Amino acid sequence: MNHFDVAVIGAGAAGMMCGAVAGQRGRSVVMIDHATRLAEKIRISGGGRCNFTNLHAGPQHFVSENPHFCRSALARYTPQDFLGLVKRHRISYHEKHKGQLFCDRSAEDIIDMLKAECGLGNVAWRTPCKVEAVGKDGERFRLDTSEGIITASNVVIASGGLSIPKIGATDFAFRIAKQFGLKLVEPRPGLVPLTFDGAAWEPFAPLSGIALEVDIETGQKKSRMQFREDLLFTHRGLSGPAVLQISSFWQPGTPLSVNLAPGEDVGETLIQGKGSLKKNLGNLLAQWLPSRLAEGLLQANDLQAGARIADMPDKQLRRLGDAINRWSLVPNGSEGYRKAEVTCGGIDTRELSQQSLMASKVPGLHFIGEAVDVTGWLGGYNFQWAWASGVAAGLAV
Ligand code: FDA
Ligand 1 atom closest to the CA of 129, numbered from 1: 20
Residue whose CA lies nearest to ligand 1 atom number 4: 12
- Domain spanning 194-334, CATH architecture: Beta Barrel (2.40)
Residue ranges of domains in the chain: 3-189+343-396, 194-334
Residue 397 burial (CB count, 10 A): 25
| Residue 226: pLDDT over 90 | yes
Proportion of the chain above pLDDT 90, given as a percent: 88
Q: How confident is the model at residue 1 (pLDDT cuts 50, 70, 90)?
A: low
Q: With beta carbons less than 8 A apart as the criterion, state whether 371 and 174 touch.
A: yes
CA of 43 to the centre of ligand 1 (A): 10
- The pLDDT of residue 146 is 97
Ligand 1 atom closest to the CA of 38, numbered from 1: 9
pTM: 0.96
Concatenate the DSSP letters of all residues of 6-62 into one string: EEEE--SHHHHHHHHHHHHTT--EEEE-S-SSTTHHHHHGGGGT-EEEETT--GGGE
Residue whose CA lies nearest to ligand 1 atom number 45: 382
255-282 in b/e form (b: 16+ CB < 10 A) is ebbbbbbeebebbebbbeeeeebeeebb
Is 379 a pocket residue for ligand 1 (Cβ < 6 Å)? Answer: no
Q: How confident is the model at residue 97 (pLDDT cuts 50, 70, 90)?
A: confident
Q: What are phi and psi of 130, to 5 degrees?
A: -95, 130
Tell me the C-alpha to C-alpha distance, in Å, between residue 298 and each of 259, 283, 287, 308, 328: 16, 12, 14, 13, 16
Is 0.85 exceeded by the ipTM?
A: yes
Q: What are phi and psi of 174, to 5 degrees?
A: -70, -40
Q: What is the pLDDT of residues 165-188, one digit of tens each?
A: 999 899 999 999 999 999 999 999
Q: What is the pLDDT of residues 102-149, one digit of tens each?
A: 999 999 999 999 999 999 999 999 999 999 999 998 999 999 999 999
Superfamily of domain 3-189+343-396 in the CATH hierarchy: FAD/NAD(P)-binding domain (3.50.50.60)
